[in-house]
Structures are given as structure tokens and as C-alpha cells.
């Protein structure tokens, strides 16, 4: 029988991991939409856990952190948290890519978690992973002009067949884990409901940002003997308006890093 760690090492991902029950996931969904009614869409805002408390609550879920610790060890930073939302019958999609390509880190001691607040199905655009692709290291990405691509630079790895991939369907309250070099994609939402997920990026405390000294993270388990990152302050209320205004700076910083790294990864 494969353990979480053994499956992750072979495939580059693990799913499903049950974090919360369906009723609790629905309460998070309702909280998200209550905030959106005040300020607009929360889709693709970086470091959202500094402004929205429930994002930090999910990021520090004990089952999730126990699983990340099994893969990364006891000292863990939360680098980023981002809601990724596909509206009903939209053409929004995510092309084949590897997460670590644009983050500017010196190493790959990283795990991404994708937490489903709604069911993620083939119809509404769940993720597809390419098993074992993390073992081949970084692939060349092309920057594309595609307004429907949810990725900031429309980055894409060419020549990947969907026939080789594995669909990662999740029930609301479940999560998947994947390595930063694991190739993955997701297709448009053809259903009548929103597809809502929270993407969480964890790194080992000894990781280093090579592109800027201004990057930040949050210690969520263990101790940080390195202090390579400035400290993010997690939200403690449902919605922190002041923190939301400060997100503009951190979002721009991450986008600058993405842009710098894109210039070094062109075909």
C-alpha cells in the first residue's frame, strides 16, 4: 500500500486528502462570496491569507500541515495563498506549466496544495497532472497571448498530450498536493456552478528567493533559523480592509519576479 510520501515521490502529486467536511467547506464558500459582494472578485489575488482570515485557517489546517510536514520536514513557511475561481460556462483555463518556473527560488523544497471549496470535476475544470513529470526537472515555457489563460504570463509547456495525464477530481473539502516541477493543467468550466479552489504554496524555511530581498512568507510550523523572508501578517478577521490595500504592493512584487524569471526561460 502506497503512503502519501511514496505516492508523491513516484507521481509528483497526491489526492485526495480530506481536510474538512462538506458543510464546513460550504461555510467557507459563503464567507468568500460575502466578501466578494463588498469588494469584487477574489480570483487570483496573491497572499490573500493576509486579508482574508478563512484562507489562513485553511492554510493552517492540521491535517494539511501534517501532510506537508511529511514531505518537507518540520519547518514550514506559507509562501502564498491564492483563490482560483472559474465562473460557470467561462473559457478560463490554465495551460500546461510547472509552478516553480517563475518563483525565483534557489531550490525545489516546495509543495503546492489545492483545496476545493466546491466539487472539482472534469466538467467544471479540475486539474490534470502528468505523473512522474517532476522527476525530469524544469521544462522550457513559452509566454503566450491568451486572455482566457488564468496564468499571469500565459506560460505554457508545449507538446504535452492530455492522454498522458491523470484527472484529479476533488470533493468539496478535499485537497490535492503536488510538487513544483509536476506538469499540470486545467480546462474551462462548462458547468452551471462556480469552481472555487484555494491554492497554497509551502516551502522549507531554508529556501531562498534569488530575485529580491523584499519577498515575504509566514511561518506556519516549526522554527525558522534562516529568516530569508520578511514576515507576512495573517488576517485575524473575516476581511481586513487595511491588509487588502497593502496587497497591491505584494502582488506587484510577485509579478515582477514572474516577469524576471520569464526572460530566462524562453525557448
pTM across the whole model:
0.93
pLDDT band at 106 (very low <50, low <70, confident <90, very high): very high
Chain segment 187-227, per-residue pLDDT in tens: 999 999 999 999 999 999 999 999 888 899 999 999 999 99
| Strand stretches in the chain, DSSP E | 13-18, 76-86, 94-97, 110-116, 127-129, 166-168, 174-179, 184-186, 195-204, 216-221, 230-231
The full 3-state SS of 205-259, as one line of letters, equals CCCCECCCCCCEEEEEECCCCCCCCEECCCCCCCECHHHHHHHHHHHHHHHHHHH
β-strand partners of 17: 175
- Domain residue extents for the chain: 4-263
Domain covering 4-263, topology: Jelly Rolls (2.60.120)
pLDDT tens digits, residue range 117-159?
Answer: 999 999 999 999 999 999 998 888 887 878 888 776 677 888 8
Amino acid at each position: 500500500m502506497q503512503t502519501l510520501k511514496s505516492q508523491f515521490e513516484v507521481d509528483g502529486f497526491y489526492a485526495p486528502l480530506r481536510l474538512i467536511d462538506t458543510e464546513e467547506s460550504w461555510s467557507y464558500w459563503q464567507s468568500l462570496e460575502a466578501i466578494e459582494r463588498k469588494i469584487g472578485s477574489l480570483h487570483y489575488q496573491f497572499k490573500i491569507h493576509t486579508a482574508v482570515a478563512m484562507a489562513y485557517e485553511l492554510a493552517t489546517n492540521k491535517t494539511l500541515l501534517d501532510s506537508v510536514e511529511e514531505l518537507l520536514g518540520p519547518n514550514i513557511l506559507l509562501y502564498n495563498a491564492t483563490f482560483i475561481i472559474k465562473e460557470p460556462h467561462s473559457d478560463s483555463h490554465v495551460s500546461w506549466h510547472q509552478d516553480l518556473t517563475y518563483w525565483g527560488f534557489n531550490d525545489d523544497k516546495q509543495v503546492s496544495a489545492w483545496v476545493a471549496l466546491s466539487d472539482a470535476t472534469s466538467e467544471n475544470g479540475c486539474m490534470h497532472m502528468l505523473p512522474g513529470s517532476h522527476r525530469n526537472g524544469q521544462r522550457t515555457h513559452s509566454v503566450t497571448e491568451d486572455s482566457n489563460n488564468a496564468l499571469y504570463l500565459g506560460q505554457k509547456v508545449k507538446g504535452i498530450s492530455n492522454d498522458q495525464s491523470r484527472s484529479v477530481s476533488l470533493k468539496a473539502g478535499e485537497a490535492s498536493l503536488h510538487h513544483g516541477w509536476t506538469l499540470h493543467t486545467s480546462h474551462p468550466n462548462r458547468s452551471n456552478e462556480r469552481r472555487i479552489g484555494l491554492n497554497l504554496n509551502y516551502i522549507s524555511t531554508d529556501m531562498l528567493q534569488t530575485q529580491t530581498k523584499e519577498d515575504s512568507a509566514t511561518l506556519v510550523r516549526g522554527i525558522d533559523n534562516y529568516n530569508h523572508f520578511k514576515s507576512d501578517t495573517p488576517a485575524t478577521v473575516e476581511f481586513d480592509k487595511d491588509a487588502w490595500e497593502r496587497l497591491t504592493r505584494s502582488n506587484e512584487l510577485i509579478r515582477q519576479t514572474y516577469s524576471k524569471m520569464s526572460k530566462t526561460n524562453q525557448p
